[in-house]
Every structure is written in structure tokens, then in C-alpha cells.
Structure 1
Amino acid sequence: MTVRDRKRVRTRQALVVAAVDLFERHGYERTTIADIAAAAEIGTRTFFSYFATKEEILFPETDARLRAAIEVIEERRPGDRPATVLLRAWERADEVDEDDLADGLATLRHRLINEVPAVRGRALQFYCDAQIEIARRLAETFPDELDEVSATALTGAFAGAVGGALYVLLREPDRAMDPAARRDMVRRAVRTALAPWLERAHQAAE
């Protein structure tokens, strides 16, 4: 990574930290892009080199997480089954932003998705686009096992398990649970949702 790249990473992170602080102290609606840029010590125009909208700053690693998941699908190993690849893809994507559950951003995002229509709409767009793309890649990677419909069903079961588990875990921000424990609970929820697929994969491996 070059010096310029490192500077961009630092500036991007500074914007996220500043936004989280301002949203918590002043509220989402009352915080402007100019406020966030000033708190991060950059110009307002420079803000748009990192995020297109105020909503997007709540989802800073969405594209990177999707790329990481797709890389795992493209790197499928001999004998892999769709569900096991999907699980591994989620674990790789989670590594991209492993501090998400620890730094308060996930809890804030969850609250704002419930409170602010613009944030909720952006979240639905991000999640739907990612789900469709992952399903398409799975269908292409496993043409003998999945068509477009079954790949979408599998990905939907996975996304529903993750989203549902996080909804319960994050609706009580003061709940005494460290990020590692939360991730473990999400992982177990996913395995429960994908149990039929995982059992099929286990049988195929025997």
C-alpha cells in the first residue's frame, strides 16, 4: 500500500468516526455532510471522494465485504458444496470489517435503519444488490446443483438468518455480550438456517 493509499484509508476512517460521533450526539437528521467533513478536518467537496451520500457512511465496507465473498466463491475447492462455500464467504467478508460489532457502528446503523427511512432504503438496496450478485455467482459456480431460483433461495435463507440474528442481538445495545460472542451466535443461527444444505454437503462428502 502506497503512502497515498494509507492516507485515503485514514481519511475514510476519520469520516466514519466523525459521523458516528455526530449522529450519536446531534442526531442523524441534524448532522450535515459539512459537519462530518469539518469534524474529520477535510473539505466538503473532498467528502464526496469517499462517500456519495450521508447514508453511505453508515455502510463503509459493504463493497469490500461483497468483493471478499465473491473471491471465496470464485476460489471454490474440489468437493465444495454451495452451502459450505457460502459460509466460508461470509466468514471472509466478516474479516474485512471485524471491528463492526465492536466500535458501535453496527448498533447505530441498526437503530437508524429502524428510525430513518432514507437509511432503511439504502440498507435494503445494499443488501438486495449483494444478495442477487452472490446468488448469481453461486449459480454460475455450481450449475449442476443450482439454478437461479434455488441459488436465490439459498442466499435468501442465509441473509435472513444473519439479518434476523443481528436484529435481536443489536436491539439491546447494552446487552452484556462481547463482539466475539455475538459473531458466534450469528454463526450458529446461519448454520441452523442452512442445516438442510449443510447436511446434503456432508452426505456428498462421505
Structure 2
Amino acid sequence: MTLRERKRERTRRAVVDAAVELFERDGYEQTTVADIAAAAEIGTRTFFSYFPTKEDVLFPEGDARIAAAVHAIATRAPDEGPAEVLLRTLRIVGEDSDDLGSRLAALRLRLIADVPSVRGRALQLQADGQLRIATHLAAAFPDRLDPVTAAALTGAFIGAVTGALQMLLKDGHPGDPAAVQAAVRRATDVALAPWSTRPRS
């Protein structure tokens, strides 16, 4: 990563951290983009070079997760089936980030439940990501998956992750990242068992 990329990542992280603080302290609806920008010590125009909307601040790793899934599909091993590829993606994401059990994750789930605009953005991002992953899976495994079956497998995977997090973080507090990741892995193992070609550990 270049110096410029590191500086950009630090600024992006500062924007997310500032937004979390303000959303928790003042409320989501009461917090403006200008408030977040000021707290992160950047201009409002700079904010929009990082996030297209206020809602998107709550989903800072969404694109990276989809990209990780697409990369895992493209670099699959000869003995990996579609379920194994998705499960490997989850391990990679867990190793790279503790977001699933973070303060942001707990806040995000609460706002998805309470704020229609956040819920709408979450559903849109999930649908877009699911379609992208399913399309790549179907192309990678044409002898095993048609487009509908690939969509079902991807839906089971994403649904397992989402459902597990809803239960784990339902009290509104962040969980222990390692414990959250382990529980999410168990949930996805169960959800993808019908497609798995390897013995469950």
C-alpha cells in the first residue's frame, strides 16, 4: 500500500469513527453529513469522495467483501466446490477485519431495524452483492450450478451471516470478534451443508 493509499484509508476510517460517535450520541436522523465531516476534520466535499451518502458510512466494508468473494471464486482450488469457496471467503474476511463483531456492526443492525433509509440501503447493497456473487458462481461452476441454484446458494450464505449477526448482536452491544466470527462460521456451515463436498469438521 502506498503512502497516499494509507493516508486515504486513515481518513476513511476517521470518517467512519466520527459517524459512529455522532450517531450514537446525537441520533442518526439528527446527524448531518456536515457534522460528520467536521468531526473527521475534512470538508463536506471530501466526505463525498469517500461515501456517496450518509447511509453508506454504515457499510464501509461492503465492497471489499464482495470483491473478496469474487476473488475467491476466481482463484478457487481444483477440489473446491461452490460452498467451500464461499466458506473460504468468510475466513478471509474474518482474518482481514473484526467488523462483524464491532461496535459499528451492532449500531448498523439497530439502525437497519429503526431507520427506513438505512434499511433500504442495506437491502439494496445486499441484493446487489448477492447478484454479483451468484453470477460469478454460476459462471465458475457451470456443470454444478445454474443461475437460479447459484442465487439460492448465495442467498443461503448471506442469510446465514445476517441471521447469525442479528441474534448475536440483538442487545445492541458489540461482541467478542473471535466468538462472533466462530458463531457466524458455524451458521454458514449449517446453511451450506447441502452443497458441501467435504466432510464437516
TM-score (norm 2): 0.94
Partner residue in 1 for 2:28: 28
Matched, 1:136 2:120: no
Query: Could you give the per-residue CA deviations for residues 106-137 of structure 1, whole angstroms, max 9, x where no partner exists?
Result: 00000000000000000001111111111110
Q: CA deviation at 1:174?
A: 4.5
Partner SS state of residue 49, structure 2: coil
Contact 1:68/1:89, CA 8 A, preserved across alignment? yes
Relative contact order higher in (CA < 8 Å, ≥ 6 apart): 2
* Identity within the alignment, %: 61
CA distance in 2, matches of 1:54, 1:125: 15
Contact 1:165/1:185, CA 8 A, preserved across alignment? yes
Partner SS state of residue 91, structure 2: helix
Structure 2, unaligned runs of 5 or more: none
Contact 2:110/2:172, CA 8 A, preserved across alignment? no
CA distance in 2, matches of 1:103, 1:195: 27
Structure 1, unaligned runs of 5 or more: none
Partner residue in 1 for 2:182: 184
CA distance in 1, matches of 2:180, 2:195: 23
Distance 1:70 1:89, change over 3 A: same
Matched, 1:58 2:58: yes
Partner SS state of residue 52, structure 1: coil
Partner residue in 1 for 2:155: 156
CA distance in 2, matches of 1:130, 1:2: 28
Contact 2:90/2:185, CA 8 A, preserved across alignment? no
Partner residue in 1 for 2:70: 70
Q: CA deviation at 1:102?
A: 4.6
Aligned residue pairs, count: 199
Contact 2:130/2:151, CA 8 A, preserved across alignment? yes
CA distance in 1, matches of 2:99, 2:198: 32
TM-score (norm 1): 0.92
